[in-house]
A and B are shown apart, each in its own frame.
Chain A
């Protein structure tokens, strides 16, 4: 056998010069042959550390072995045991901080880890193309119980899929007109094609899950109704309320939250205006505030909408950047400029309510803060102005109060998220479980899915226990 390649099998990507003019997917994925070449690199460790570093504990050597042997269906079956959304996780998980970080091959000097994420994606895409979900047979056993899932993001979809597999009747309530949560309105097409999201959601519906859109729980239906009509419920409404820095000029025209900017683009297709009705401004100079994946997504979207200059203003340095390194590299290839150690202090008004520039101050790093990262401190008299007609704040999201304000019985943390046991997803109210960003604050897709897997098991336990207890009827 040929010697193991030191580096990951190269993957085809769209040329940067071309891709920054379109919204098509940047990474084109492995062919089966390329996947097999990569699968050969896996050491097939006995106590594989990659498994324990995956939040849903996928049998990684198992599915990679099946690829190597050319058994794609078998590989898909292995994945399906652990994850309901492999095509999505293969694309958006920060593998460099999870499975691939602990890969033993990657630990060896001058070796890169196995491209686990890209292999997962290969198998999942193959399955979406080749498996016929309509033939999935649902059990004709009577259902064990009825579960309501509030929010159709990655956490809710995972709970729904797992409980449907356990023979529950599951109804998912979604406030927007399309399901998927952040997968649909947040992560752009060029990173996560909506066709993939739709197909993966269809595969969950094929398990017998019903998704009802245009239902705002707390408004369209109440928590009281849910508590009466279902055996248990899972709240996975995410952390979707945008934060604003609140500096002078926030109300100027041209100032967006990343949530608004990305919702217009991803959910409403404003990049295809006027074919689609939701408008988007033609920007020339765009400044994005923040250093996470959302900031990358917003900046790269702005470039694709035709902006000449797009820069990211981040108050720390590259070392502390929370975004995925792959996305950072992609952004640099696409001519996104960076202002490191810089913080905005004011948005400049042209006198008629439109933005003309962002006044910034340079920062230096001081002592480490609670998160262990060095705290940025402003440098006196270092103010400067970046010309801008559009600014997008991507500084994080908080919990949305629409549901929570109508359900005061539920215990919240001091940050306004739901207090839930991390081991079970149980909240302060029996039968009400919660997980994903509404518990942890804005985190990752895979952590939200992990919370969903845990909660599905606990919801099953709870309902079975409840059904055993004799029911005393209220008089």
Chain B
């Protein structure tokens, strides 16, 4: 059992948890994720490790409520425990001094870029961080990202914070004024796809972190398979980070929708039951 030690409800649909998992906290590196299962009837879902505190043996998970499992996770309180937590999984981000790096996070993907921002800064890079979200309250982890960034640019769709517009527009502005050596983009599939197009137009290398459907997360089922540069890769063991230009985006986005109906029904049933239980 893995105990929740801290919980912050950061926006309408987003939560920030610290969970006791000393072994994972000791080993986790930027870019890695965990698989968790809430209880005996639960499913296994992947979540990126947003931060670690090896001294207290805990890891930080930031997630958005998008279906039944994340909804249920959001109802857990400090002191509650989740049944299973496995990790750290996946290949870590390659941290080194690239020179100037640009790191783009969209929505809840901001939580996934934070450890990369932090370690790339520590490795001596000039770090330009771009955070994008629909509206101001969804721009999470601003202070943490600012602390480790030489420059922080915020974009919102509705203009309630920072510049009004898309992260790709902010990318264009940075590229127009200075040389960037490497970049990362983590967020919704469509955002990562467009960030890749923007970076490619300027011959800027870009890495993305794919979040396909996973079951075991250890390379034994191939549920998370993606086509990278024409060959089959398993995102859980070969990734989740890949070169954006090598990802078959159309296929990736299509495979994400596989269980849409089942997922919607599951969430609806859960919400009905919640209403039934609590009025």
Question: Which A positions have Cβ atoms within 8 angstroms of B?
Answer: 175-177, 213-216, 219-222, 240-242, 244, 246, 250-251, 253, 256-257, 259-260, 263-264, 268-269, 273-281, 352-353, 400-402
Contact = CB atoms under 8 A, between A and B. Distances in A.
B232 A250 contact: yes
Given A219-B88, A269-B41, 6 more contacts: A176-B86, A276-B43, A277-B42, A278-B44, A353-B251, A402-B218
Contacts of A279: 43, 259, 262-263, 266
Nearest to A278: B43
B235 interface: no
A320 B254 CA distance: 38
B266 A275 contact: no
Interface in B217-273: 218-223, 225-227, 232, 237, 248, 251, 254-255, 257-259, 262-263, 265-266, 269
Given A250-B232, A260-B215, A263-B216, A216 B87 contact: yes
Given A220-B86, A253-B254, A259-B222, A273 B262 contact: yes
B84 A177 contact: yes
Nearest to B258: A253
A286 to B, nearest CB: 16
Interface of B: 23-24, 27, 37, 41-44, 68-69, 83-89, 215-216, 218-223, 225-227, 232, 237, 248, 251, 254-255, 257-259, 262-263, 265-266, 269
Contact of A176 (B27, B68, B89, B216): B216
Contacts of A214: 84-86
Contacts of B85: 214
A400 to B, nearest CB: 5
B23 to A, nearest CB: 5
Q: Which 8 A-B pairs have the closest CB atoms?
A: A353-B254, A279-B262, A277-B43, A260-B221, A240-B220, A177-B84, A278-B43, A257-B222
Interface centre among B226, B258, B263 (most CB of A within 10 A): B258
Please classify the interface of chain B as helix (H, G, I), strand (E, B), loop, or mixed, using the class held by over half of its residues: mixed
29 contacts: A175-B216, A176-B218, A177-B37, A177-B44, A177-B83, A177-B86, A215-B23, A216-B218, A219-B88, A220-B86, A221-B23, A222-B27, A242-B220, A242-B222, A244-B222, A251-B248, A253-B257, A259-B222, A260-B222, A260-B223, A263-B220, A273-B262, A274-B262, A274-B266, A274-B269, A277-B42, A277-B69, A279-B263, A402-B219
A142 to B, nearest CB: 28
A220 B248 contact: no
Contact of A276 (B41, B220, B225, B254): B41
B119 to A, nearest CB: 18
Given A246-B232, A263-B215, A175 B86 contact: yes
A242 B237 CA distance: 13
B190 to A, nearest CB: 15
A5 B44 CA distance: 52
A32 B241 CA distance: 58
B212 to A, nearest CB: 11
A259 B234 CA distance: 13
A59 to B, nearest CB: 36
B249 to A, nearest CB: 12
A401 B219 contact: yes
Contacts of A352: 254
Contact of B68 (A253, A277, A402): A277
Contacts of B37: 177
Given A253-B254, A352-B254, A220 B221 contact: no
A400 B218 contact: yes
Given A219-B88, A277-B266, A251 B225 contact: yes
Contacts of B219: 240-241, 400-402
A180 B88 CA distance: 22
Contacts of B248: 251
Contacts of A213: 84
Contact of B89 (A216, A221, A222, A259): A216
Contacts of B43: 268, 276-279
Interface centre among B85, B225, B265 (most CB of A within 10 A): B225
A213 B84 CA distance: 9
B255 A253 contact: yes
Contact of A251 (B86, B251, B259, B262): B251
B227 A281 contact: no
A263 B68 CA distance: 20
Contacts of B86: 175-177, 214-216, 220
B44 to A, nearest CB: 7
Interface centre among A176, A250, A269, A279 (most CB of B within 10 A): A279
Contacts of B84: 177, 213-214
A123 to B, nearest CB: 31
B41 A257 contact: no
B215 A268 contact: yes
A241 B224 CA distance: 12
Nearest to B85: A214
Contacts of B89: 216, 219
